[in-house]
Each structure stands twice: as C-alpha cells, then as structure tokens.
Structure 1
Amino acid sequence: MMAFPSHTHNICYVFAMTQSAPLSNAQLNRRILSVIIFTFFCYLSVGLPLAVLPGFVHNQLGYSSFMAGLIISIQYFATLLSRPQSGTLADKLGPKRVVMLGLVCCGLSGLLTIAAALAASLPALSLGLLALGRVFLGIGESFTSTGSTLWGMNIVGPLQTARVISWNGVATYFAMALGAPLGVLLNTFFGLHGFAALVLLMGALGFVLASGKPAVSVALGERIPFHKVFSRVWFYGLGLGLGTIGFGVIATFITLYYASRDWQGAAFALTLFSLGFVVIRLLLGRFITQHGGLKVSLISFMVECIGLLIIWQADAIWLVDFGAFLTGAGFSLVFPALGVEAVKQVEQQNQGSALGTYSAFLDMGLGLTGPVAGLLIGRWGIASVYLAAALMVVGAMALILRLMQQQRILAKSH
C-alpha cells in the first residue's frame, strides 16, 4: 500500500504580504508550475491513447466503430462523475493527497492497458480491461487537475487564482496536443504497450515527485454541503458549459466540415484554434485580475461567437481558419475568468468542492456536444452545428449580463 504523509508533517505556506516582499512574476510562475506539472503529466496520459485506442478496438479486437467510440467516452463520463468528489476530497485531505491519488489512478490506467494488449487474443477480456483503465484515467484526470489547481491557488494566494487556472489550462492543452501524435508514434513502433508504458511511467514519476513536495494545510472552518456549493456556482458553470460547445464542435467536427466541401487542411484549422487559445492565455491572462472575471468572459464570448459565425458562413478555407483562430482566442479565457468568480462564492475551506463542481460543467458540455450535434447534422447539415454553437454562446453572454446586473444591485445595496 502507498502511504500518504501525515498532516502533522505538512508544511504550511504562509502568504502574509505584510511580512514578506511581494513575489515577482517569475517567482509566482515558478511556484505555480512546480505543481501544475502534475496536470501536464495527467493530460499527457489522457492524450496518448486518443488516436490509438479506437483503431485497436475496431481493427484488432473486431468490435464496431460505436464500441470504439464508447471506449473513449467512458473516460469523459468517469471524469464528469468524479469532478465534485475530487474537489470535496481536496478540501478535506488537502490538494497534495488528491493529486497523488489521481496520479496513482493514471498509472493504473496504463497498467490495465498493457494487460489489455496482452489479452488481445481474448477480445471480451481485453475490452473489459480497456474500459476499466479508461475509468481509472477519468478519475485520475479529475483528481489530478482539480488538486493541482487548488494546490497552486494555496501556494501563491487567492489574488493569483486567475494566473493558476490559466497556467493549468496551458499545461492541459499543450499536453493533449503533444500526447496524441506521440501516442501514434509509440504505437507504430511498439504497439499498444508503447504508449501504455509511458502512461504508467508518468503516473509513477508524478507520484514520486508529488510525494517529495511540501503540502499545504487544509483550511479549517465549516464545510457546507454539496448542494449548497452547487447552488452557488452552477450559474457560472452553466456559462462555461455553453461556451465549451464552441470548442467541442471544432475539435469534433471540423474534419467532417472540410471533407463535406472537399477541402484539405482541417488539421491546420485545429492548429490555429490551439494557437489562438494558448497565445491569449499567455498574453492576456492578467486581464482577469485587472478587469474582473465577468467582463473578461463577456468579451471572450463575443469573440468566440464571431469566430463560430464566420465558420458557419465561410465560403473559403482561409475564412474557416480565421474563424477557428478567433474561436480559440475567445474560448481561451472563459474557464479561468468564470472560475475566479465561481470560487469567490464560497469560503476557502470549500473552494476545492466549488472548483470541482464548476469544472464538471466543462465535461458535461463536451459530453453533450457529440450526440446533439450529430442529430443537427442529420437534419440540417454540417454547417448547422456552428450556428447552433454560436447561439449557445449567445446564451452564455446573456447569463453573464444577468450576473453583472446582480453584482451591480448587490453593490448598491451595500
């Protein structure tokens, strides 16, 4: 059994700005990255199987394309269902322990995938092992990502929440972008064992590194029930979920959109989306602290909506590429901007639960995008999904305007 350090050995970071000089940007980033690296390990493990497992299930095990897609989706559902629990556990046990649990789950998913590869001659057994591995990877994703974010928030203080969430997003998308092609490369040379062994290694290495880092103390105070946390953050989460649909329809359907018009270069559109996302996160993330999460999210939704409408009406490849770039740039700050506002709704001892609950709406948005968009395509064609996504983003803008109005009313009453 892997033993976790006792709370009596936890080293509590103290951030009293009156007693020490303010940290420089470089120092803040180093502290944040020292724990956000575990998010990178986690999402590298998530990205590695994406382009490989469907082919293994369909071509080697002989199952249908539907079953191949279902094996991938199992992870998303496991992530969605475990998000709230990950935050609650982080509040109770401390984020370090939750990160270590998440990395163990990621490592187990690699081990189960290796076992599935060895059992390929028994398709039912192999499929079952893969499915169990996907469940562990989904739990590992929610635990590691939520725990790393909360850990970062604790070691640099609440004023840097937006910076922590932004760096967490950069680590996520960079790892995913690296993981998918690396998984294909390893599978080509070593088979399923190749990427699965790397997933196992990432989990083990991450666990060792995390165990050697000082923990942060668990905040004392009354922990409110989950339903009360949910009631305080669900409006922000709903805005996130609606905005996530724009990302989902590009990631899932842009290849089909290009194919429907006999165009080449769908991969470049995805690259431009990612470029817009990362560039805005790195250059403009400080705007959240300077101008507030609601204002930044409103402008972000406007940019995302314009990008989606351009794709909907595009009659040339360069317009689709431009629309994809704008959509990525717009979506970039949505998660940290609304996340900052969401965690403000609860006391520190409940912030992990709030963050996990809020993040679950992103998983839900991605999970619903595929089947709903599939129905739209069958009835109105591939372009309709980009109009529908733009309308969802308009709905998110309406939610933000409502929240801004409530803030003004509350400010006047005080």
Structure 2
Amino acid sequence: MTAPAEKGTIPRLALAGIFGGLFCGYLGLTAAIPVLPGFVRDSFGATDVAVGMVVMATALTALLVRPVSGHLADRYGHRLVMRLGALIVAVGGALYFLPLGLTGLIAVRLLLGVGEASLFTAGAVWVVSLAPHHRRGQLIGLYGVSMWGGISVGTFLGATLLPLGYGAVWGFSVAAALIGLALISSAPVPPRTEQPSGGHALLVRPALLPGAALALAAAGYAGLAAFVVLHLQARGIDSGVVVLSCFSAVYAGTRLFIGHLPDRLGPRRVAAWSGVGEAAGLLIIALAPNLPVAVIGSLVMGAGFSLLHPSLALMVMNLTEASKQGAAIGAYTSFWDLGLSVWGPVIGAVATGFGYPAVFVAGAVCAVAAVAVALCVRRPDTQPAVVS
C-alpha cells in the first residue's frame, strides 16, 4: 500500500499519470465498440445474438475479475496491476489483427475484460491512497470523468477511423493502450509503508450495501441508454440523442465543479440526494411531452447520478481498512457490472409488457430503493471494517 498524501497536498504528477493512463486505456478499449458489430457481420455473417456476445463479453470477465484485481493491487502494488491492465488492453488490440474466427474473437473480448478490470480497479484505489482524506470523494469522481471521457472519445474516434479500414481501428487501440502504459509507468510511487494483513477473502463486507445501492441505481442508466430515443420517437419527438448528450455533459460537469460535495457534506447525505435526483429526472423523462422537458429530465438525472457512485465508493473506503481497500473497491464496482447485466434484459421485458414510459418509472423506483439501501450503511467508527 502506498503512503497516503500529507494533509492538504495532492501529488499532481502521480495523478496525471493515473488519470492519463486510464483515459488512454479506455480509448484503446472502446475504439472497437462502434465497429465490432459490422466487423462480426462482414467477417463471419453472424447473427445479432453473436454480435451481442462479442460486444458484451468484456462485462462478464470484468465482473468476475474486479475483486481479484483489487486484491492483487493491495498485495503487489497498484501501479503494477494497472500497468498489467494496460498491457492486456494493448495485447487484445493486437489480437484483433489475427484470423482467430468468431470463437477466438469472443476469447479476445473476454481477455480485454480482464484488462479493463485490472486497469480501472487498481487505479481507483491508487487514487484513494494518494488523495488527502478531505478530497478523496472528489478525486474518485474525477477518476470516473477520466474513464467516461476515454469511453466517449474512444467510441467517436473508432467510428471516425472506420473508413480507413478495420486495421486502422485495431492499430489505434494498440497505440492508445501503449501510451496509457507509458503514462502509468511515469507516475511516481511512494515507498510502501504497510503490507496487507488478515485473510484473502475477495468480498469485503463494507462493499455489500453500497454495491447493492449502485446496482439498483444502474437500472435508470440502463433504461436511459437503451430506450430514451425510442421512447421519444414513440411520442413523435426527434433528436432523442440530444437527451443522452446532455446527460453525459452534466454528468461530467457535476463532477468537475461540485465533485467535492461528498467530502464536504458527507457521502450518506449526498448519496441520498443523488438518488432522489436520479429518480426525479427519470420521472420527468417518462412524462416529457416534448424535447425541452426531456432534456431537463436528463440534466436533473445526470446531476444526481453523477455523484452517486463517488459517494457510495467513499462509504466503502471509510469502512474498509487500508490494506483491503483494493479488494473492497473491486467488489463494489463489480456490482455495477452485475446491475447492467441484470437490468438489460429486465428493462427490455418491462418495455415490451408495459411500454417505454414504464422503463423510466421502474428506474425511478430502483433509484429510490438505492437511497434506502445507502441509508442503511453504517457510519464509520474508530474500528476498521474486517473481511466477512
């Protein structure tokens, strides 16, 4: 475990390497996303089911590997595991060039899930270990902005490079990940001041309730991403993609400008208000008679949803002893993957059975439930949490 930053100081050089490495790693990961469906159909004549398997395969291994990656980061160092993640992303990009067939391509995507889990989880706890105590929540939020920025720019650049051929996209994926590896390697690491103690369990008790709240909150995001355009089209409203763009913009802006609120006001209070904001925004979208009202709903939802994750993550960190925070954050973030995996088919069934507005009402109900679960998380005391 690296030594924490002195009170009031921020190791900017280290954080630049971590944030930059994460951003570039996600550039490499996501550049392939917009082109993979066409590649799978062109190369293998595959069905929509196969396309879905290829695109979503990373989520399966990420879900399983995040706690393992966090545990390894606790034991062997955050930079080592984060570098390994970036290297795996680069290797996965290179493997796209090989004629491995559909089964081989799925295997490559599974490997990339291991890289994604290692890259994100190790970096998240590294950031926490370097941050002054009173700014941990803010830096967790900014770390998430780096990830989402990489996802947004990566998918855009992948689609932009497609006219040059699939090889151009694969090459960009490799290059971006290698740049990320170099940035991570440039981040200085303070001497390790303590070694992990205790058992080797990967599921840490303090991650359970915040993780469950995160999984519940994921329902609203899944519904927005999958059905907001169709929902508005069914009401004769075009340009529904503007709603998604506004959500993304306010999501990033909230973390940039008021990301310090979980530190200043306390993560329980901010998590509660964030969940209420997500629910309110979803209900506005469900009832929206026109595009401006739907945009207002996306702004309200984005502002609330943006601070929910760092608030819940800060709860986990506050209740977990320092030597097990990697395993804890890995277990916590696995609930996000689990939530998306569960809510994807569930909201599809809700839309089929009850219509598109019901998707957003269901998401609002889940957001309120997330608030209830978050408020059940015990307050930290002088004794660190132990592994269950």
User: Which digits, 9 at most, give the CA deviation of each residue in 1:80-128, with x for residues without a partner?
Assistant: 111111100100111000011101110111011122xxx3xxxxx4322
Secondary structure of 2:96's aligned partner: helix
Task: Give the conservation status (yes or no) of the 8 Å contact 1:249–1:386.
Answer: yes
Structure 2 counterpart of 1:407: 379
Secondary structure of 2:143's aligned partner: helix
User: Which digits, 9 at most, give the CA deviation of each residue in 1:306-364, with x for residues without a partner?
Assistant: 00011111121221121112111110011111101101222111000001000111111
Distance 1:15 1:383, change over 3 A: closer
Structure 2 counterpart of 1:407, one-letter code: R
Distance 1:258 1:58, change over 3 A: farther
Structure 2 counterpart of 1:108, one-letter code: V
User: Which digits, 9 at most, give the CA deviation of each residue in 1:246-301, with x for residues without a partner?
Assistant: 11211222222233334321221111000110111111111111111110010111
Secondary structure of 2:198's aligned partner: coil
**Which structure 2 residues correspond to residues 5-404 of structure 1 after superposition, within 5 A?**
15-17=5-7, 22-23=8-9, 27=10, 31-115=14-98, 119=99, 125-189=100-164, 191-216=165-190, 217=192, 219-226=194-201, 229-403=203-377
Secondary structure of 1:114's aligned partner: coil
2:211, 2:52 → 1: CA distance? 26
Q: Which runs of 5+ in 2 are unaligned?
A: 383-388
Structure 2 counterpart of 1:172, one-letter code: M
Structure 2 counterpart of 1:89, one-letter code: L
Structure 2 counterpart of 1:163, one-letter code: Q
Task: Give the conservation status (yes or no) of the 8 Å contact 2:262–2:311.
Answer: yes
Structure 1 counterpart of 2:90, one-letter code: G
Structure 2 counterpart of 1:3: none
User: Which digits, 9 at most, give the CA deviation of each residue in 1:379-406, with x for residues without a partner?
Assistant: 1112211111111011111112333xx4
2:252, 2:182 → 1: CA distance? 29
Q: TM-score, normalised on structure 1?
A: 0.87
Structure 1 counterpart of 2:163, one-letter code: T
Q: TM-score, normalised on structure 2?
A: 0.92
Count of equivalent residues:
381
Distance 1:295 1:374, change over 3 A: same
1:30, 1:16 → 2: CA distance? 15
Q: Which runs of 5+ in 1 are unaligned?
A: 1-9, 120-124
Q: CA deviation at 1:163?
A: 2.3
1:368, 1:259 → 2: CA distance? 25
Secondary structure of 2:356's aligned partner: coil
Distance 1:16 1:213, change over 3 A: closer
Structure 1 counterpart of 2:386: none
Query: Which of the two has higher C-alpha Rg?
Result: 1
Task: Give the conservation status (yes or no) of the 8 Å contact 1:91–1:219.
Answer: no
Structure 2 counterpart of 1:122: none
Residues 76-85 or 44-53, more deviating:
44-53
Q: CA deviation at 1:242?
A: 0.9
